Chain A
């Protein structure tokens, strides 16, 4: 992993040494190489099973486990998408070296969040992930939309990290440690008089991570930021940093709440249902493809949260969440990169302007449609399997909690709703407009689309390896630590 940080810091130095004459392609190639080497390294570790089983706790600050590796794979794939998608997008911008350097620093931050088992490490990694993205969101500094996006994102992001550090300070005060394992053990054995502080701490964690995950009611910054930021950066935010929020939430909130023995699952269930409904209903009313994808990504945070809400009742819950996190990273990443391609060619993603896109940009359109149908959960695409496991687990948990099946019902209904607006986009692209001529599509976008189509269809037809991988990445709840 260290390669990401080292290369990320070296790129600006190379740029100064070359008197800032390096081309976008040159810096993108360096960034791509660093990310690709890291991805191959993580994959080879998983492949050779030379890695500890999913452990939430460790005496060290970082743990190299399957749980973190699953997130690392998703995040590195998304970062590679971002770097490739940026190739044609940022040619007009100044400082390409800084741009790619910030992407690398942000991706090492995300990966470290996924691996960290100590609250101090987690917080530092969280900030390493967030700070570059604030700058990246405002990178088009002559563009008012990008500016506004960055400022809103910064204010809410700074609030979320302030809340997280307050939560950490309370957790430290109650338990006297910052190691996640010891904190959770400390919560479980804490004195009754300290309970309010422990509860406040978990509540602040939910709010702080919820901002990054885009859960309702912490989602108001998200559509504006996703629409205004440069679209490749939106890919990084929607498919990357959001997943880091889930990694931290799984390690802290789910485990902490199990330790506190709270009736917290109902609260997460309510947030999940609200998130699914608000995200999908708001998406229907949008007139802009990026904004619609932003709301749909809020809705998907709700689907992933189903698994967290039912975690104590069935192990399938977290397995479904992890699988959906991996799938959603690829699907949503591909959809936003397709939107990037559309912006490069048409300079807009307004839905009225994409009529007949299927004839103008056939490969980009095909990639977009396949990722949209995968997001809606149409078989035999990979999104179908993760939703199947999530909803199946929710129905399964009905034997313990009465509201479990209702999560599945809300999920199925909102998925059907999402099919309506995905289908609407598809109709506009393929069945409206006439006589459009085929235009030249950027090669970088085509490369991402082809990879995404192979991934989505491939793991849709043959999902066993991914399902098995997600199963090995499920951490054991109550792994002998809690008395």
Chain B
């Protein structure tokens, strides 16, 4: 593995760590959505960086797929968060307690 590639992989692993930290510590639904997006973007960075050092560009194509899917996912997530906000006047998932057992 060349040195340049290692730098990209390190950044993306750091982003993965930030994303997982954000998901496990934050309780605000929008922040958690951000954390998930950071992980997706870390994966995209990986794909593009690896594709740069490969004889074909499959990784870049896949990154485009993944960006499009992530956009759809965010659209659904924000819609769900808006509906929840209308009901609870709050987007803190620790306050959503209609279900437990």
Chain A residues in contact with chain B, CB under 8 A? 120, 123-124, 127, 131, 134-135, 138, 141, 144-145, 147-152, 154-155, 158-159, 161-163, 165-166, 168-170, 172-173, 176-178, 193-194, 197, 223-224, 227-228, 285-288, 291
Instruction: Name the CB-closest residue of A to B48.
Output: A169
How many angstroms between the C-alpha atoms of A288 and B79 in the bound complex? Answer: 29
Known A-B contacts A124-B65, A287-B101; the reply to A155 vs B1 at CB < 8 A is no
Q: Which residues of B lie under 8 Å from residue A288 when comparing CB positions?
A: 101
Q: Which residues of B lie under 8 Å from residue A169 when comparing CB positions?
A: 12, 43-44, 46-47, 50, 59
B101 adjacent to A286 (CB under 8 Å)? yes
Q: Which residue of A127, A138, A154, A285 contacts B72 across the interface (Cβ within 8 Å)?
A: A127
Q: Which residues of B lie under 8 Å from residue A172 when comparing CB positions?
A: 46-47, 50, 58-59, 62
Q: How far does the Cβ of B28 sit from chain A's closest Cβ, in whole Å?
A: 11
Known A-B contacts A120-B65, A123-B66, A194-B1; the reply to A131 vs B98 at CB < 8 A is no
Q: Which residues of A lie under 8 Å from residue B25 when comparing CB positions?
A: none
Q: How far does the Cβ of A105 sit from chain B's closest Cβ, in whole Å?
A: 12
B99 adjacent to A149 (CB under 8 Å)? yes
How many angstroms between the C-alpha atoms of A148 and B80 in the bound complex? Answer: 9
B87 adjacent to A144 (CB under 8 Å)? yes
Q: Which residue of B9, B16, B80, B99 contacts A173 across the interface (Cβ within 8 Å)?
A: B9
**Nearest 4 A-B pairs (CB), nearest first?**
A169-B46, A162-B39, A173-B50, A166-B43
Q: Which residue of B12, B39, B61, B81 contacts A159 across the interface (Cβ within 8 Å)?
A: B39
Q: How far does the Cβ of A155 sit from chain B's closest Cβ, in whole Å?
A: 5
Known A-B contacts A172-B47, A291-B101; the reply to A178 vs B80 at CB < 8 A is no
Q: How far does the Cβ of A111 sit from chain B's closest Cβ, in whole Å?
A: 18
How many angstroms between the C-alpha atoms of A327 and B79 in the bound complex? Answer: 36
How many angstroms between the C-alpha atoms of A166 and B66 in the bound complex? Answer: 11
B65 adjacent to A138 (CB under 8 Å)? no
B58 adjacent to A127 (CB under 8 Å)? no
Interface residues on B, range: 35 or more
Instruction: Name the CB-closest residue of A to B75.
Output: A131
Q: Which residues of A lie under 8 Å from residue B21 when comparing CB positions?
A: none
How many angstroms between the C-alpha atoms of A224 and B86 in the bound complex? Answer: 20
How many angstroms between the C-alpha atoms of A172 and B50 in the bound complex? Answer: 8
Residue among A127, A155, A158, A170 with most chain B CB within 10 A: A158
Q: How far does the Cβ of B59 sit from chain A's closest Cβ, in whole Å?
A: 6
Q: How far does the Cβ of A303 sit from chain B's closest Cβ, in whole Å?
A: 22
**Restricting to B26-69, which residues have a CB under 8 Å from any CB of A?**
29, 32-33, 36-37, 39-40, 42-44, 46-47, 49-50, 54, 58-59, 61-62, 65-66, 69
Instruction: Name the CB-closest residue of A to B15.
Output: A166
Q: Which residues of B lie under 8 Å from residue A170 when comparing CB positions?
A: 46
Instruction: Name the CB-closest residue of B to A173.
Output: B50
Instruction: Name the CB-closest residue of B to A285.
Output: B101
B99 adjacent to A224 (CB under 8 Å)? yes
B40 adjacent to A162 (CB under 8 Å)? yes
- The reply to whether the CB of B18 lies closer than 8 angstroms to some CB of chain A is no
- The reply to whether the CB of B93 lies closer than 8 angstroms to some CB of chain A is yes
A155 adjacent to B50 (CB under 8 Å)? no
Q: Which residues of B lie under 8 Å from residue A227 when comparing CB positions?
A: 99, 101
Q: How far does the Cβ of A221 sit from chain B's closest Cβ, in whole Å?
A: 10
Q: Which residue of B32, B43, B65, B66 contacts A155 across the interface (Cβ within 8 Å)?
A: B32
Q: Which residue of A120, A138, A158 contacts B62 across the interface (Cβ within 8 Å)?
A: A120
